[in-house]
Amino acid sequence: MSRAADERTGGAAQERDAVERHFARSILAMLTVTPDISYGNGEQGRQASFPPSVDGQAAWPEESSPAWAAAAPPATARHGVAPADPGAPVRPGSALTGERCLELFDAQLASRHLDVAARWLRSKNAGFYTIGSSGHEGNAALAAALRPGDPALLHYRSCAFYLVRAAQAVPPRDGVGDVLLGLAAAEAEPIAGGRHKVLGHADLNVIPVTSTIASHLPRAVGLAFTLGRAARLGAAARWPADAIVLASMGDASVNHSTAAGALNTAAYCAYQRLPLPLLVVCEDNGIGISVRTPPGWVAAAASGRTGLRYFHANGSDLADVFDTTLAAAAWVRQQRSPAFLHLSMVRLGGHAGAYPETAYRQAAEIIADRDADPLIGTARLLIDAGLLSPGEVLDRYEASRAEVLGRAAELAGAPRLTSAAKVLAPLAPRRPDEVAAGAAAPGGAAARHRAFGGRLPESAGPMTLAQAINATLTDALAARPGMLVFGEDVACKGGVYGVTRGLLAAFGAGRVFDTVLDEQSILGLALGAGLAGLLPVPEIQYLAYLHNAADQIRGEAATLSFFSQGRYRNPMVVRIAGYAYQGFGGHFHNDNSVAALRDIPGLIVASPARPDDAAAMLRTCLAAAEADGSVCAFVEPIALYHARDLLAAGDGGWKVSYDPPERWAAGHVPVGRARTHGDGTDLTIVTFGNGLWLSLRAADKLAAEGIGARVLDLRWLAPLPAEDILAEATATGRVLIADETRRTGGVAEAVLAALADGGFRGRAARVASEDSFVPLGDAAAAVLLSQQAIEAAARSMVG
Ligand SMILES: Cc1ncc(C[n+]2csc(CCOP(=O)(O)OP(=O)(O)O)c2C)c(N)n1
């Protein structure tokens, strides 16, 4: 504080010291909380010793003991100084008014006390999350400098931001209550409903994010990329076309490949002058749990990058954060270009309840951080401006503490989720009737005519799998103006296998486009586009390349509805060219692992084999994405893309005519329904994908030997058609599973489990591919499921 200000406040240095000591004590109080929490690494903290409980009543931190209270100065008048104008800048040259600063100070205070409350609740086993926001309360000014309608994906230390957004709502929301309910995993919590402690609210445009560091960044890039596009395409846009997207993270997170990839994609787009209004904020406290970020690293990594404008502010100085955010946001909004806002901060009170900081930081270093406590920073601003006296600051602090901790005691016992049904409810809502209706709805005749260039596919004669998917995508794009198709090589080239050929010419680069070579960004784009109200259909070029980005489906796409009770959705149909049997072999173009998809709760995994099934199933997936917000993986067998024949060269047994729209309803394939080929009574071959082609050929051979086999094509790997499996298994009493995926973690395991669960009493066996990667050349055949293996197993089964 300046000397002049000292004089203005009557030289109240003693009072100021008291304020600072008092705030410091709130940190110390937090440091003494060592509840028996297990978080993240399973580390157990020491037994709770704080706060004491008196007759079941909450006894608050020791800092409120009478001795300390007596030491605190009373609220005093402002030493005869005329009251300052609250409408004036809180500091000369700042756009932050005193009035606004006071409001933000209240949010900061409440945020601080919510951290104390979190630890208290944890010590009572009434709360389950202790990662706090202390030291980061400067992010209150971020919220104040943005528009309430700007979508925000927040770092977990953004409590003050959330409280400000809540206060901005009309009528204002009870932000403190929301956060407390989240800490207590209460069913009444407004976004995750007790499923996790997240910061989010549909009315506040705060989109909940997962705990996986930086994993929300690709989605944020995708949202920024599609905001304007959604408006142009006439989608029922959730956000105004001039909104900007905020995504914040910590300093250690900047190093994560997900963040690095997302920042690169943002800059790559900006470099090409593609609109991407994204403000990335790094709340840099210099440390990630216990690992220090080298001083200067964040600035070195983020500044001076082409396509990414860099801003910096002192995160402990509310006015600086406010002014710098205003400048950064204005730049992003006007330029529609991304910026990186770097806020220097401190982390007070350790990473979370279970991590005693003293294990890896010197006491002097921890104490030094208190000098940059943003609460003291704001108190200084307000005192210097003559808006509060130190005593009034203390009063405000005490009032906030009483309010927040009182609310914590009130909400500690709020009811939690008690049944699996309740937990699961938002995971994968399914409305089969709406899906059936959506799947049968074509575009108008004129739109179809235009899209197909006058050559309607139903008149084109039998077509291959690739042609059927291509025609279905064309029809869907013609019917749905908000649908996008994108990925590597999908536009100009029309896909490696020609599946998307002609779509760019028919629908233009606004809806069909090539992306940067980064699967995380491709899926992130889909995540953002879905949020923005569009229907994204990204392509992953090969199944092997899904795995380096799988978290964008597993951790992000599949969880959003779960953690937001369906208030935010990211519908999508991810097309993935997959499976083996491409002549030249080699793992990367012949990946046969779907285990990583099958266990994702709520995910629909479609695995078509025949052209007619592929067309109908793709329509079902698109309709499910629209009606239910479903996330669908559509795994296409590359080896069957251009297959024509089944039993003999030239028989055309794998080509099927395309259904005209009037037959779509009758041909609808509901999610989770299998298809039976043949009616043999000796055994049931259960299969999918390339296995269907192999099994139908095997069945033909077996028939010639007098063995009657029926073949069940699963079509859906998740949810598995358990009813159909059981019915067809029971019909013959013998089940042979022909599984082209690996023995371990392969689909056969799930089919066997479904049979056991369903009480099947007949015989069951399986043939599958080896637990191996697929080698190059002829050796591939040595490890893959073969027609001969299916025939041999069938013969031995039937005896
Ligand atoms: C992908 C991933 N790896 C590891 C973790 C465990 N983890 C949680 S917080 C954290 C440190 C993050 O540090 P930083 O980004 O600097 O944010 P801060 O906590 O300091 O605010 C780590 C490693 C995680 N959540 N996600």
Q: What is the pLDDT of residues 703-751, one digit of tens each?
A: 999 999 999 999 999 999 999 999 999 999 999 999 999 999 999 999 9
Name the 3-class secondary structure at 30: helix
* Ligand 1 atom having least distance to the Cα of 156: 21
Question: Residue 50's pLDDT is what?
Answer: 31
Mutate to test the pocket of ligand 1, among 139, 157, 196, 213 (most ligand atoms within 8 A of CB): 213
What are the tens digits of pLDDT across the range 592-621? 999 999 999 999 999 999 999 999 999 999
Task: Give residue 66's pLDDT.
Answer: 30
Residue nearest to atom 21 of ligand 1 (CA): 250
- The CA 249 to ligand 1 mean position distance, Å, reads 9
Q: How far is the CA of 296 from the centre of ligand 1 (A)?
A: 19
Q: Report CA(150)–ligand 1 centroid distance (Å).
A: 25
Q: Which of 289, 357, 369 to mutate to test the pocket of ligand 1 (most atoms within 8 A of CB)?
A: 289
Query: What is the reported pLDDT for 388?
Result: 96
Distance 37 CA to ligand 1 centre (A): 18
Place of tokens 């084999």: 609
Strands 604-606 and 57-58: what pairing?
unpaired
The string of pLDDT tens digits covering residues 263-294 is: 999 999 999 999 999 999 999 999 999 999 99
**pLDDT tens, residue by residue, 329-374:** 999 999 999 999 999 999 998 999 866 788 899 988 888 898 899 9
pTM: 0.92
Q: Which atom of ligand 1 is nearest to the CA of 258?
A: 1
**Range 503-519 average pLDDT:** 97
- Report CA dihedral (776, 779, 784, 787) to the nearest 10 degrees: 130
Q: Whose CA is nearest to atom 19 of ligand 1?
A: 288
pLDDT digits (tens, 9 = 90+) for 693-702: 999 999 999 9
**Per-residue confidence (pLDDT) for residue 5, from 0 to 100:** 43
Q: Does residue 750 contact residue 720 with C-beta atoms inside 8 Å?
A: yes
| pLDDT, position 358 | 85
pLDDT score at 237 = 76
The alpha carbon of 340 and the centre of ligand 1 are apart by a number of angstroms equal to 19
Q: pLDDT at position 439, please?
A: 98
Q: What does the pLDDT read at residue 15?
A: 58
Q: Which residues are the active-site residues?
A: 589
Closest atom of ligand 1 to CA, residue 284: 16
Measure 256 CA to ligand 1 centroid, in angstroms: 9
**How far, in Å, is the centroid of ligand 1 from the Cα of 343?**
17
Which residue has a Cα nearest atom 17 of ligand 1? 250
Q: What is the atom index within ligand 1 of the atom nearest the CA of 289? A: 11
Give distance in angstroms: CA of 460 to centre of ligand 1: 55
Query: For residue 327, what are the CA distances in angstroms to 205, 335, 341?
Result: 21, 12, 10
Give the pLDDT band (50/70/90) at residue 2.
very low
Instruction: Give the pLDDT score at 23.
Output: 59
Return d(Cα 543, Cα 398) in angstroms, integer.
58
pLDDT at 490 over 70: yes
Rounded mean pLDDT of the chain? 91
Q: E-assigned strands of 39-188?
A: 53-54, 57-58, 152-153
How is the beta sheet containing 512-514 ordered, strand by strand? 512-514, 483-487, 535-540, 572-578, 631-637, 604-606, 716-718
Distance set, CA 454 to CA 156, 335, 448, 672 (Å)? 54, 41, 8, 35
Atom of ligand 1 lying closest to residue 157 CA = 21
pLDDT at position 27 is 55
Residue 583, pLDDT score? 81
Going from the C-alpha of 335 to that of each of 228, 273, 277, 278, the distances in angstroms are 13, 10, 8, 10
Average pLDDT over residues 81-86: 72
Give the residue from 442, 656, 674, 630 showing the smallest Cα distance to 537. Answer: 630
Q: Mutate which of 253, 290, 369, 520 to test ligand 1's pocket (most atoms within 8 Å of Cβ)?
A: 253
Q: What is the pLDDT of residues 763-784, one digit of tens each?
A: 999 999 999 999 999 999 999 9
> For the segment 135-159, what is each residue's pLDDT rounded down to a tens digit?
999 999 999 999 999 999 999 999 9
Closest atom of ligand 1 to CA, residue 351: 19
* Ligand 1 atom, smallest distance to 254 CA: 15
Judge whether residue 536 has pLDDT over 80: yes
**pLDDT score recorded for residue 441:** 95
Segments in 32-132 forming alpha helices (H): 66-71, 98-123
Nearest alpha carbon, ligand 1 atom 25:
212
**C-alpha span between 329 and 331 (Å, rounded):** 5
- What pLDDT digit, counting tens, does each position of 211-226 carry? 999 999 999 999 999 9
Residue whose entry in the numeric block shows the structure tokens 């990058």:
305
The answer on pLDDT for 296 being more than 90 is yes
Could you report the per-residue pLDDT of 151-207, keeping only the tens digit for each?
Answer: 999 999 999 999 999 999 999 999 999 999 999 999 999 999 999 999 999 999 999
CA 83 → CA 385, 389, 396, 742, distances in Å? 9, 10, 17, 76
- The residues lining ligand 1, judged by C-beta closer than 6 Å to any ligand atom, are 40, 157, 211-213, 249-253, 285, 287-289, 347, 351
Per-residue model confidence (pLDDT) at position 20? 59
pLDDT of 672 strictly over 50: yes
Query: So what's the pLDDT on residue 29?
Result: 54
Tally Cβ neighbours within 10 Å of residue 436: 20
